A and B are shown apart, each in its own frame.
Chain A
Amino acid sequence: MNRVQVRIAAAGAVVLSLVALAAACGGSGGSTADAASGGKINLVAYSTPEASYAKLIPAFNKTSEGKGVTFTQSYGASGDQSRAVAAGQPADVVHFALEPDIQRLVDAKLVSPNWNQNQYNGFVANTMVVFVVRKGNPKHITSWDDLVKPGVQVITPNPFTSGGARWNIMAAYGAELKEGKTPAQAQQYLSDLFHNVPVQDDKASAALQTFTAGKGDVLLAYEQDALLAEQSGADIQIVYPPQTIEIQTPIATTTKASSAGKAFVKWMYTPQAQTILAQTGYRPVVTSQESAFTKAFPDAGNPTLFTINDVDSGGWDDVMTKFFDPTNSIMQKIESSIGVSTSS
């Protein structure tokens, strides 16, 4: 080879490797060809409904509108997933743990502002915040007040990294208001509560892991997560607080959604889909299917429920700034006060 040829060959090699790199980075996986009739759905969801979708998708494929539809599924922390879609991850259907994660996509013009204009306000499955305790409930935890007693260790994720932790805090705060406390007293309760939190994991699944590994007396968790953990034989039991927050999880199609994606979201509200959700630990939003849940989990409690809008009429929008702004908010102040008293 002469010098010029060497240069060309080397340049070619660089281009090739860059192309390969780009392909490796940009490939969204699952480039399987569309099935003849069905089309394709990119499903992006938070992590807990994974077990439900494992049953929902095959059931959908058996229906006439779902025949031959192929799915690409992606699960992860709700905020991460929402951010990924906003940054360009292909998605037809999104299912998140809380409304602000859909709102982010509305702001990015990836989801229609009318996404929640249905009978169920865009929510597809409900769950609630419950207490998870050691088998036999050795610390006799029955109410929110028991969590702030001295010597009780409460496990909940860090509210600045985890959407689940935000639900937990709003459950605690709302329960105090329901008991007739003033907002100031309820905030004091949150402060007392966080003085009993020795570990703040980055996400709900990690907190569950920490608890099952033996740390803490009470874990604040989604009922659905707790039911599944109990079913899988972990040495835990669920305690239903007298009042707690109803966690409403929203589903939406994106503006780029395939017709199969739209059909799938519609199907999610059918009795069949809602029954599967109930059997995998969710409280169905279609009330006629509520019995499917009680059939599957006869021992599940029935606490008095309130929603995020009962806690704060401004909803999540308002709550996010008031409670969870990282520079100036109620939780930021509480976290600093803990640091001042415990950092060594």
Chain B
Amino acid sequence: MTTVALPRRRASGAALPSVAPGVAITYLSVVVLLPLSALLWETHKGGVDAFWQAVSAPDAVAALKLTLGAALLVALINAVFGTLIAWVLVRDSFIGKGFVNSLIDLPFALPTVVAGLTLLTLYGPNSPIGVDITYTRKAVVLALMFETLPFVIRSVQPVLLELDREMEEAAASLGARGHVIFRRVVLPNLLPAILSGMALAFARAVGEYGSVVLLSGNVPFSTEVASVHIYSQIQSDYVTGATAMSVVLLSISLVVLLSISALHRWSSKHDR
């Protein structure tokens, strides 16, 4: 960490005025907490029985299984390829590296429905490259891979940049081979970043709608994901079903994110 010395104007030494926490909390409340509480409130109105009935309906269970399975798979794929790409971007030098580096974040900027349309043209029935996987579960995974690409890369990259290469050199001088160095020296350092990237990718994948709705075919029990299932419940004026399912998705994502941050705390405690 490098600290830039700024001229201090206030004697207290804090970088931000003391209202900062208040501002932060107000902002978070308006933007995040309030809508989420409203959702919980709406769900609670239906009662426990209605909630359980909604989330245990066979089509809801099928949609949940598909969504969670696909999100998990995508998080794992991201872990491998995200780390690989981050490695290439940090350790290798090649022409156009800056351009590739900027390319990574583009999926964030592209409206998801446009992403879906693009993938549909590329991998659909009229595919110019002769690959048609749309309207299958593979298409769900493909869409999610596209949407979640940046997460692992962007969380691993800074860690890799700061990683002390002397450790690797030391390991090499002690006779360790490349793959051993990676497994025993580099990977343990990267693991927390990989995990948090995976958790973000997972959470993002669970909620994805725009690209999946175009690519998957939305056949209940087969290719209908949870977000599309929720939309269909809203369209059928079955609000309890929609909110119940949303609460389940949010809870799962929350648990994943919480356990990752717990893991972080645990690992940083054990580092020292």
- A residues whose Cβ falls under 8 Å from a Cβ of B: 3, 6-7, 10-11, 13-14, 18, 21, 77, 79-80, 83, 158, 160-162, 197-202, 206, 209, 213-215, 324-327, 332, 335-336, 338-340, 342-344
Q: Contacts A6-B19, A14-B23, A340-B221; is A206 near B214 (CB within 8 Å)?
A: yes
Other than the known A161-B232, A161-B235, A326-B232, what 9 A-B pairs have Cβ atoms closer than 8 Å?
Answer: A6-B17, A7-B18, A80-B235, A198-B217, A206-B213, A213-B120, A214-B126, A325-B236, A344-B137
Tell me, rounded to whole Å, the shortest Cβ–Cβ distance linking B18 to chain A: 7
B26 adjacent to A14 (CB under 8 Å):
yes
Give the residues in chain B near A336, CB-CB below 8 Å.
58-59, 220-221
Cα-based distance from A324 to B238 in the complex (angstroms): 11
A202 adjacent to B238 (CB under 8 Å):
no
Cα-based distance from A327 to B135 in the complex (angstroms): 25
B125 adjacent to A215 (CB under 8 Å):
yes
A338 adjacent to B222 (CB under 8 Å):
yes
The 9 closest A-B pairs by CB, nearest first: A339-B221, A214-B125, A160-B232, A199-B217, A326-B236, A10-B19, A214-B126, A6-B17, A335-B220
Give the residues in chain B near A77, CB-CB below 8 Å.
235
Q: In this complex, what residue of A is CB-closest to B209?
A: A202
A200 adjacent to B125 (CB under 8 Å):
no
Give the residues in chain B near A342, CB-CB below 8 Å.
219, 221-222
Q: Which of these, B59, B135, B213, contacts A339 with CB under 8 Å?
A: B59
A-B contact pairs, 11 of them (CB 8 A): A11-B19, A14-B26, A79-B235, A160-B220, A201-B213, A201-B214, A201-B218, A206-B214, A214-B125, A325-B236, A335-B220
Cα-based distance from A87 to B230 in the complex (angstroms): 19
A-B interface contact total, Cβ < 8 Å: 115
Tell me, rounded to whole Å, the shortest Cβ–Cβ distance linking B205 to chain A: 19
Give the residues in chain B near A79, CB-CB below 8 Å.
235
B213 adjacent to A327 (CB under 8 Å):
no
Task: Answer yes or no: B150 CB below 8 A from chain A CBs.
Answer: no
Q: How large is the interface on B (under 10, 10 to 19, 20 to 34, 35 or more residues)?
A: 35 or more
Task: Answer yes or no: B192 CB below 8 A from chain A CBs.
Answer: no
Tell me, rounded to whole Å, the shortest Cβ–Cβ distance linking A18 to chain B: 7
Cα-based distance from A336 to B221 in the complex (angstroms): 7
Q: Contacts A215-B125, A343-B62; is A326 near B238 (CB within 8 Å)?
A: yes
Task: Answer yes or no: B261 CB below 8 A from chain A CBs.
Answer: no
Give the residues in chain A near B59, CB-CB below 8 Å.
332, 335-336, 339
B23 adjacent to A10 (CB under 8 Å):
yes
Q: Which of these, B124, B214, B236, contacts A214 with CB under 8 Å?
A: B124
Give the residues in chain A near B17, CB-CB below 8 Å.
3, 6-7, 10
Q: Which of B192-248 contact A (CB under 8 A)?
A: 213-214, 217-222, 224, 228, 231-236, 238, 241
Give the residues in chain B near A215, CB-CB below 8 Å.
124-125, 134-135
Give the residues in chain A near B125, CB-CB below 8 Å.
213-215
Give the residues in chain A near B19, CB-CB below 8 Å.
6-7, 10-11
A158 adjacent to B232 (CB under 8 Å):
yes
Kindly name the residue among A11, A77, A327 whose own CB sees the greatest number of chain B CB atoms within 10 A: A327
Task: Answer yes or no: B57 CB below 8 A from chain A CBs.
Answer: yes
Give the residues in chain B near A199, CB-CB below 8 Å.
135, 217-219
Tell me, rounded to whole Å, the shortest Cβ–Cβ distance linking A128 to chain B: 23
Give the residues in chain A near B218, CB-CB below 8 Å.
158, 161, 199-202
Cα-based distance from A199 to B20 in the complex (angstroms): 51
B220 adjacent to A213 (CB under 8 Å):
no
Give the residues in chain B near A158, CB-CB below 8 Å.
218, 220, 224, 232
Q: In this complex, what residue of A is CB-closest to B231?
A: A161
Give the residues in chain A near B57, CB-CB below 8 Å.
327
B124 adjacent to A160 (CB under 8 Å):
no
Q: In this complex, what residue of A is CB-closest to B30?
A: A18
A202 adjacent to B228 (CB under 8 Å):
yes
Q: In this complex, what residue of B is CB-closest to A198?
A: B135
Give the residues in chain B near A200, CB-CB below 8 Å.
217-220, 224
Q: In this complex, what residue of A is CB-closest to B19?
A: A10
Cα-based distance from A202 to B224 in the complex (angstroms): 10
Q: Which of these, A13, A14, A198, A327, contacts B238 with CB under 8 Å?
A: A327
Q: In this complex, what residue of B is CB-closest to A197?
A: B219
Cα-based distance from A161 to B218 in the complex (angstroms): 10
